[in-house]
Amino acid sequence: MLSMLSSPTFADVAAALERVRSSVQRTPIMESALLNTWFGHRILFKAECLQTTGAFKLRGATNFLASLKEQDALPQQVVANSSGNHAQAVAKAAQAFGIPATIYASESISPIKAAATKSYGADLVLLPTREEADAAVEEAAKEDGVVWIPPYNHPYIIAGQGTAALEAFEQTGPIDAVFAPCGGGGLLSGTLLATREKMPEARVIGAEPQAANDASRSLQCGEIVRLDGPPDTLADGAATPSVGPYTFEFIQQLDDFYEVDEQQICYWTQWLHHLLKLHIEPTCAMTMAAVAAWAVNTAPGQTALVMLSGGNISQSAMRTIWDVDYLSQPPIIASQGVSE
């Protein structure tokens, strides 16, 4: 088991960026002139869907192991629990450091993410439910020489994920609002840390699926609330059962937070594929519903940064996403399908 550490600071994010620069892709900033015209704002996208392994998660996993290496504390083996993107990231990072990796996941894991995880050399253990996978990794981490790399609730992970926003600020001018999806909250927490330091006047806004609204419910209750069972959402990267103690601390500091329904998730996945010509996961496409809600209530001419967290989508999810053609209706800049 990992011992508790102090909550990460901006200094940890800055150190993480220097630590991972040579190991991760410096992903580009993208935009759509047509979307900017429709919104009346400039919308910039940090394309982590083009990251190695297809998601931002490689940043956190790499920073985790690089931090241990600096302390001369690399383990004999690493284990992790994940619905997919973290699994690939840990597998890839462990491969780079020459450490065996075992990943525990539920049988509902996206087949494309499962295949990619195994392609990086990790052993993949599938169990019937997420809860069983979580219990299995906790038990495995008790073995000597084994270290558990959690998917989001750890300072090394949060600092590593924050490097995506910090890197983006090196590529952009001033930003008025930053948007990121929320699953366990690692990316959102790291993004908040980077933004508060580099763009202190910018609003930081999160979004999660309405069908997996544990973070929203936690914010309303003032304490961490777990989902009652496995959520039914296309945004599988945000289908975590709950946020963690580290990430909840940062989520409570956000300027706004939205729940997004499944129709809007499909709608924005289609439109971002079309406008940006990128393969984008529903998990990050859903954030555009929050951007639309912000845009309609904001004076024109501002600049927003959207964290496109990943681009790994299964065939079955793609079929569902494209079951209805939403491209015949250009984006309506309003808060439909979104609740605060």
Tell me: the pLDDT tens digits for 247-301? 999 999 999 999 999 999 999 999 999 999 999 999 999 999 999 999 999 999 9
End-to-end CA distance of the chain: 36
Dist CA 283 CA 235 (whole Å): 4
pLDDT higher than 90, residue 84: no
Residue carrying structure tokens 């940090």: 46
The predicted structure's pLDDT at residue 340: 66
Q: DSSP states of 6-26 as a string?
A: PPP-HHHHHHHHHHHTTTS--
3-state secondary structure of 48: helix
Task: Check whether 1 has a pLDDT greater than 60.
Answer: no
Distance CA 165, CA 160 (A): 10
Asked if the model's pLDDT at residue 2 lies above 70, the reply is no
Strand residue runs (E) in the chain: 29-30, 42-47, 77-81, 101-106, 123-127, 146-148, 177-181, 203-209, 256-260, 303-308, 338-339
The pTM of this model reads: 0.94
Q: Which of 163, 133, 159, 309 is nearest to 247 (CA)?
A: 159
Residue 236: predicted pLDDT: 87
Chain length of the chain: 340
- Residue 215 pLDDT greater than 80, yes or no: yes
